[in-house]
Amino acid sequence: MSWHKQFNIVDLGLLGSPVMTKLRHTDAFTGYFFDYAAPDLIKSHGAWSCGYDRQIFSNPRFAQLYQPVSTRVIDWTKENCPGNPESLSGIWIRMDILKSSTSPERKLIDELNGKLSVDTLRQALETCQAQPGNNCVYVARTAYRFLPEFRDGGQIDELNKIFSSSRTKEYDLYLVNGYRDGQAHEGAIEFLARRRISNIGLDDPVIRSNFDVYLVENSLIYIKEQCIEDDTDAMFFLALYPVDADDLPIRRKQYGFDNLDFRFDHRGHRIGGICLAQIPLPEYAISKIETGQYVPVDGSFDHLWEGEFRVAEQRLRGR
């Protein structure tokens, strides 16, 4: 279904937002949501409010950027959201796009509403990028808001020329060309992932092996450069040994460790020649982590590589 857009909206259900789908289980998701996607209007309830509570709704940036239109706590959340039974269901609007806002984004929207012009976008991008620290993605988001009109005017090529000089061009060009290129989001994902990798201490992995493994805040990040498809075919095993066995889920207490095995195609992505997967860790204190990859062989398992990291002792072993 198509309609004239008055708001930019992303799909928290992930079916209509391929970038969100790839980043959903990574610590890059929250930054992407607030700094790039920045939906104008949010409607969420029940399971969605609960599922995104930590990454979005309880994040301090949410209250800074969004104004509630109508919110309430529903009975389902009270009964089914142990992390935050007071998670709100409702509608929120981003304050930068309110009619009363004095933000550069609101100003640009009003200018294009008055007169649709690619020159206005060009000037807005140049002015914004004159300050090195500015986040100028709002210019591309505004172009995306008026994309049907620019398409009707045959001005898509001019938009591509403008955003090819953007500091965030891979993401900007995805917004401009996604309607006609089903793979355009891959460039945006690669750009966002490379930005994330650049912020990781790549010289300090907790495990060095076929994949280097990094402990970043409360996640494990697996990275392999010069990665080929064969490197990601095999199952990844991930065993977490808690400081206190009583912290384990009931079904895992008999084993003494938690099992977070995963497949790369479910939790990772390939960016050029680099493969990256990120696995959020549980809240409980962990004493030891064992991980690697394996393949089934004659009713048993053959480890392709494995490594162990003792968290308390900061000791590294791998082979």
Structural domain includes residue 13: no
> What would the pLDDT profile of 111-138 be if each residue is shown by its tens digit?
999 999 999 999 999 999 999 888 999 9
- pLDDT for 204: 81
> What would the pLDDT profile of 134-162 be if each residue is shown by its tens digit?
899 999 999 999 999 999 999 999 999 99
In sequence order, which ranges of the chain are alpha helices (DSSP H)?
Answer: 18-23, 28-32, 46-51, 60-65, 75-80, 104-114, 118-129, 137-145, 147-152, 156-163, 169-177, 184-198, 230-233, 264-267
The encoded tokens of residue 180 equal 């006609």
Structural domain includes residue 105: yes
Claim to verify: residue 35 and residue 149 sit in the same structural domain: yes
Claim to verify: residue 182 and residue 219 sit in the same structural domain: no
Q: How would you classify the pairing of strands 300-310 and 286-297?
A: antiparallel
Structural domain includes residue 207: no
Q: Which of 197, 230, 251 is the last residue of a domain?
A: 197
**Does residue 3 have a pLDDT over 80?**
no
* Domain encompassing residue 142: 18-197
Claim to verify: residue 126 and residue 273 sit in the same structural domain: no
> What would the pLDDT profile of 51-76 be if each residue is shown by its tens digit?
888 889 999 999 999 999 999 999 98
CA contacts within 13 A on the Cβ side of 298: 0
Claim to verify: residue 235 and residue 142 sit in the same structural domain: no
Structural domain includes residue 12: no
Higher pLDDT, 236 or 226: 236
Claim to verify: residue 89 and residue 121 sit in the same structural domain: yes
Q: Which of 167, 197, 227 is the last residue of a domain?
A: 197
State the total domains in the chain: 2
Claim to verify: residue 147 and residue 241 sit in the same structural domain: no
Per the DSSP assignment, residues forming a β-bridge with 219 are: 216, 280
Claim to verify: residue 88 and residue 157 sit in the same structural domain: yes
Structural domain includes residue 155: yes
Q: Which of 96, 146, 97, 93 is nearest to 118 (CA)?
A: 146
The encoded tokens of residue 231 equal 């490197």
Identify the weakest region by mean pLDDT among 115-119, 128-132, 199-203, 306-310.
Answer: 199-203
Claim to verify: residue 288 and residue 191 sit in the same structural domain: no
Q: Which of 226, 212, 228, 233 is nearest to 294 (CA)?
A: 233
The CATH number that applies at residue 289 is 2.60.40
Claim to verify: residue 167 and residue 251 sit in the same structural domain: no
- pLDDT for 317: 41
Structural domain includes residue 22: yes
Q: How would you classify the pairing of strands 219-224 and 89-94?
A: unpaired
Claim to verify: residue 269 and residue 174 sit in the same structural domain: no
**What does the alpha-carbon distance between residue 317 and residue 150 come to, in Å, rounded to a whole number?**
57
Residue 224 pLDDT class (50, 70, 90 cuts): very high
Claim to verify: residue 187 and residue 121 sit in the same structural domain: yes
Residue 25 pLDDT class (50, 70, 90 cuts): low
Claim to verify: residue 138 and residue 189 sit in the same structural domain: yes
Higher pLDDT, 271 or 104: 104
Structural domain includes residue 6: no
Question: What is the arithmetic mean of pLDDT over 12-23?
Answer: 73
**Does residue 104 have a pLDDT over 60?**
yes
Structural domain includes residue 9: no
> What would the pLDDT profile of 169-190 be if each residue is shown by its tens digit?
999 999 999 888 888 888 888 8
String of b and e for 107-133 (b: at least 16 CB within 10 Å)? ebbebbeeeeebebbbebbeebeeeee
- pLDDT for 217: 76
- pLDDT for 200: 65
Q: Which of 22, 19, 54, 51 is nearest to 38 (CA)?
A: 19
Q: Which of 139, 174, 197 is the last residue of a domain?
A: 197
